[in-house]
Structure 1
Amino acid sequence: MSTLDELFVRLREATTPMEIETLQSGIWQLWLTTGEHLLDKHLEAGMRALSAGNYTQAITDFTTLIELQPTYAEGWNKRATAYYLRGEYRASLADIRETLRREPRHFGALSGWASMLRTLADDRGLLRVLVRLEQLCPHWPGIQGQLHELRNRLNESEE
């Protein structure tokens, strides 16, 4: 089994969508394991609630998980997702920041942050987040085109 650091090294070097997806899947498997039965129960309950569209219950479950294990980045990320789906962008962004404090390479949190910035039409913020994603995986599907388009749009608005 690969360690998280090894998977991230390989992700940075990956060039095909299938290879990138496989490595991301391996990373997610590690992120979705708390190593403690009680914490796993809260994570699973929150993920079931999230899948069922019960965002309030998901937030409650993920909050309990965060309170029990505040250093567990995925608890923060999952709660950020629930807040986002409930339309609470400020709360979601706060949890994304907490996720990235604990795991700066969290491409899921960065991708969610990029989606919100795109919705808010914050091109400068979006560029910063996409550059961070590019550093993790230069061949992330579509990222080079997005960066090119954003840089052109920002350059045109500054002229």
Structure 2
Amino acid sequence: MLDDLFAQLRTATAPAEIEALQNGIWQLWLSTGDAALDKELEAGMRAMQAGDHTLAIAHFTQIILLNPDVTEAWNKRATARYLRGEYRASLADIAETLRREPRHFGALWGQAGIFQQLGEYRRALRVVGRLSAICPHLPGLQERQFSLREQLEDGGLLE
């Protein structure tokens, strides 16, 4: 089912269709198949929404300790660490997310954003290129590519 959704995402052009496909993919990613882990994931997301990033990280870490193959626990912990300003730790969790699910558009979008914030525009542009292969018509993608190319040109870094 996940592969089918990604195949459709690759060819989708309408923003509403892209959003619906992404939501379908997120629903699959957010289900671990284990009720206790699902509750832990939900608790972590609630803590993150409430702004308690430390508690959120604790919930996501617990899931990772119990089952390190739960991709979304790595991704959500990356998000919580990002929100705390822990960019390098967030990038490490994003790397684990992408090791488990290389098509994780949320992790890729976040990774590109962190690289951009850190001034690593060439790396950010490469990540955006990976995103483009997954969902070429993702809203905001072309603008981000343009912005990154401009930043590289302004810095004299674009060959």
TM bin (shorter chain): over 0.9
Q: TM-score, normalised by structure 2?
A: 0.93
Aligned AA for 2:50?
A
> Which position in structure 1 is the counterpart of 2:118?
120
Counterpart of 1:25 (choices 9, 20, 23) is 23
Distance 1:153 1:118 in 2: 9
Aligned AA for 1:59?
I
Q: Which runs of 5+ in 2 are unaligned?
A: none
CA shift digits 1:76-101 (9 cap, x unpaired): 00000110111111110100000000
Q: 2:71–2:97: 8 Å Cα contact kept in structure 1?
A: yes
Q: CA deviation at 1:146?
A: 2.6
Q: 2:132–2:141: 8 Å Cα contact kept in structure 1?
A: yes
Distance 1:72 1:17 in 2: 28
Q: Name the Cα RMSD after superposition.
A: 1.4
> Which position in structure 1 is the counterpart of 2:60?
62
Aligned residues with identical type, % of pairs: 61
> Which position in structure 2 is the counterpart of 1:85?
83
Q: 2:116–2:148: 8 Å Cα contact kept in structure 1?
A: no
Distance 2:151 2:42 in 1: 42
Aligned AA for 1:83?
R
Count how many residue pairs are aligned between Structure 1 and Structure 2: 157
> Which position in structure 2 is the counterpart of 1:49?
47
